[in-house]
Structure 1
Amino acid sequence: MNIKMGVAKAGIKPSGDYDILVLKFPPSVYSAVFTKNSLAAAPVIYDRLVCSLQDKISAIVVNSGNANAGTGQEGFENAEKMAQITAESLGIDKEEVLVFSTGVIGVQLPMDKVKDGIETASSSLQELDLELAARAISTTDAFYKYYETNGLIEDKVFTVKGIAKGAGMIHPNMATMLAYIFTDVKIDKPTLDQITKLVVDRTFNSISVDGCESTNDSFVIVATGESDVEINDSNKLYFAKKVYEVALELAKMIVKDGEGATKLIEINVHQAFSKDEARKIAESIALSNLFKTAMFGNDPNWGRILAAVGQTHIGIDFSQVKLYLGDFLLYSGQPLEFDKKQASEYLKNNKEIRIDLYLGRGEEEWTYYTCDLGYKYVEINAEYTT
């Protein structure tokens, strides 16, 4: 794919690391999803306007270290200036640029530094380096998040690759994350929008670290159309699965990197009446701090899981419910005898934990990802701006 990137150390991040990323590509079909938080950041408000008017984009600019959220009219004007500076630096129209920010809320962008950083990044474009791009957009991330895969349609190869950031303030609609996926297929926008919704619902909108919905959450998929692969009704499901693969891996990385997390927890709800019901129950478990702290403490306390199910007020018949922790059957319509010590060892010795809940009332299911909650999360977020 003909995607060029430039990075710069503009001095926005206190660490002094890379904090500006510029991505340039041919005019491309794209699809975007943003936070539903009412305190949407200035770049989110700006990008929504662009998306309502523009069918194709040619560039993405990201600053990290400052969210440009809760910054009023000045913040919106600064987001627009970022687009203008990027467009002038790359020789494209301002309307072809999407703008993103991540970092501390409520602080105006230092536009002199941002301008210098964008111009520096734009003047030193190179081939896309996923690790370096992911590094430039990170904030409290403990590791850089990127993934790529290839697909084959009618003996023609296509590529899907992506980067993401996020560790805290993670909860659906979207989460405090930025994620970008690129592919070289030819695809029309309605089809790409359809695939984006399906993929995002099952990945980035099915993760939670701390239940805190962010102001800057954004996901964009860009299709450059450079390959000979054309997506149509006969192959769009296969293509969607490849996009899903990349998105799921990035989403799981975000949860693994949950601030202070020691475990990735996969919550599978089976035999629900509807997908919405399965999702609501899985989310209720994922949001339970009692459950998450029990996982951190290696405590197979199934009562906390079922209590989280009960608080959905759905009216589950618990006499039909079965609950597994890994291979341990903890509950089947009533409390069961199980080896608590071995169940605790399972939690202690595994970084990826699986919960399976069978409701016995239907055929639908949903999978949700979360992490445990420990001391480090409090330490990181208690001192975030001080």
Structure 2
Amino acid sequence: MKEVKIGCSSSYQKYGKRLDTAIIQVPRNSKISGLFTSNKFPAAPVKVAKRNLTNLDKKKKTALFINAGNANAATGPEGLKDINKMFANYKDVNVLPFSTGVIGERLDLQRYGKSFFNAYKNLGRSSWKNFATSIMTTDKKEKIVKKSIKIKGETINFIGVAKGSAMIEPNMATMLSFVFTDLKISKLKLDKIHRLACESSFNSITIDGDQSTNDSSLLIATGSSLISLSKANEKKILETLQDIFYSLAEKIVLDAEGATKLISITVKGLKTENECKTVAKNIANSLLVKTAAFGEDPNWGRILMAVGNTNISFDEKKFNLKLGKLHVFRNNKLSSSYSEKLGLKEFKKRKIEIVIKLGDSNKTSKVLTSDLSKDYVSMNADYRS
């Protein structure tokens, strides 16, 4: 998508010479859908981005201004004033600011201001990989997903970039995620498919049960493609977007701080999908389950405990548990096909699959999480040092 211009630079602060600021400029009349943290302490850039999104000047181009290393959260009125000062000279642009990093510290306006100025001069010269690098904090890897699909002989392009490796427990969006497409679509329909794509991806991952003050997800449609969203192609486009969002979500969990395992938890058979998700997330956030995964200990009793430790009603006689394809519990008793040796084999895998059935309905929910390692504790204990 050549119409999307990328410029990156470094403020030479927390990450030395590494890129830590980015500007992404999109064409006039691009449609932009935003989902943001529901944390009760939203960061200053979240407040400004939400406000500016509702009042975009169609005569101006829109640009995302993103910095890593400082969250500009819990900075009070001064944090908002700092944003106004930093972007006061960008009068010909709709400014959408995003920040990620340490909470409670004010922005260094001189350093970040200069870096944004350099990034603006570099618009069109930086790559998607540069962008992905520039928004990393404790991430170990860049997170980029690219896809193209054909509809009526025409190509529709999708590119997604995200960051996140801790403080991940979304309630609406999660971490920082920016997905771009050249599809023609109305703002109303873009909002709809954005929420649907988030629900089965970013809303279904957890690393540590903590939702950030800065979580933001943007879906941007430039409209440069010859294809518009229609009833005939909506299913294919939504499935493509869901694949992209899910791939980004999986990359986040795989890159979780100190993680050695990706854990997939599927819960089936309850009255609603929300009930299934509640149980799945309770397992995903269980420290005992996560540490068992790290220790490669197939302690299925911890999974059973986490299932029963919710306010969701179910018939315990219908409790079924599988590790991958291995039956552990069937109809509320230990399966005759289960052995510790076979359970250990499942827990030694890089990707652990837990499947639970609690009833006879067709409702289901899947949640991704990681294990909890010694490195996670060390990394977060030393985060500001």
Q: TM-score range by the shorter chain?
A: over 0.9
8 Å Cα contact 1:273/1:364 also seen in 2 = yes
Equivalent-residue separation in structure 2 for 1:268 and 1:326 (angstroms): 11
Offset at 1:238? 1.3
Gapped regions of structure 1 (runs ≥ 5): none
Q: State the Cα deviation string for residues 214-261 of structure 1 (Å, max 9, x = none).
A: 100000011000010111222222111111111110110000111110
The aligned runs of 1:2-17 (5 Å cut-off) are 2-17=3-18
Secondary structure of 1:84's counterpart equals coil
8 Å Cα contact 2:73/2:79 also seen in 1 = yes
Secondary structure of 2:167's counterpart equals coil
- Describe the shift of the 1:263–1:284 C-alpha distance in structure 2 as closer, same or farther (beyond 3 A): same
8 Å Cα contact 1:29/1:55 also seen in 2 = no
Pairwise CA RMSD of aligned residues?
Answer: 1.5
Number of matched residues?
A: 379
- Describe the shift of the 1:344–1:55 C-alpha distance in structure 2 as closer, same or farther (beyond 3 A): farther
Tell me the TM-score normalised to structure 1 length: 0.95
Which residue matches 2:383?
384
More off after superposition, 125-134 vs 258-267: 125-134
Equivalent-residue separation in structure 2 for 1:222 and 1:80 (angstroms): 24
Q: Residue 250 of structure 1 aligns to which amino acid in structure 2? A: L
- Describe the shift of the 1:223–1:272 C-alpha distance in structure 2 as closer, same or farther (beyond 3 A): same
The aligned runs of 1:234-273 (5 Å cut-off) are 234-273=232-271
More off after superposition, 169-178 vs 159-168: 169-178
Q: Residue 76 of structure 2 aligns to which amino acid in structure 1? A: G
- Describe the shift of the 1:210–1:100 C-alpha distance in structure 2 as closer, same or farther (beyond 3 A): same
Equivalent-residue separation in structure 1 for 2:320 and 2:10 (angstroms): 53
User: Is 1:151 the equivalent of 2:153?
Assistant: no
Q: Residue 53 of structure 1 aligns to which amino acid in structure 2? A: N
Which residue matches 1:352?
351
Q: Residue 84 of structure 2 aligns to which amino acid in structure 1? A: E
Q: Percent identity?
A: 38
Equivalent-residue separation in structure 2 for 1:81 and 1:293 (angstroms): 46
Match of 2:56 among 45, 54, 57: 54
More off after superposition, 227-236 vs 27-36: 227-236
Offset at 1:280? 0.8
Q: State the Cα deviation string for residues 280-310 of structure 1 (Å, max 9, x = none).
A: 1111111111111111111111111121111
Offset at 1:82? 3.9
User: Is 1:67 the equivalent of 2:71?
Assistant: yes
The aligned runs of 1:219-368 (5 Å cut-off) are 219-332=217-330, 333-337=332-336, 338-348=338-348, 350-368=349-367
- Describe the shift of the 1:80–1:66 C-alpha distance in structure 2 as closer, same or farther (beyond 3 A): same
Q: Residue 291 of structure 1 aligns to which amino acid in structure 2? A: V
Which residue matches 2:137?
139
Q: State the Cα deviation string for residues 302-321 of structure 1 (Å, max 9, x = none).
A: 11112111111212212112
Gapped regions of structure 2 (runs ≥ 5): none
Match of 1:193 among 191, 194, 210: 191
User: Is 1:84 the equivalent of 2:88?
Assistant: yes
Secondary structure of 1:344's counterpart equals helix
8 Å Cα contact 2:174/2:203 also seen in 1 = no
More helix by share: 1
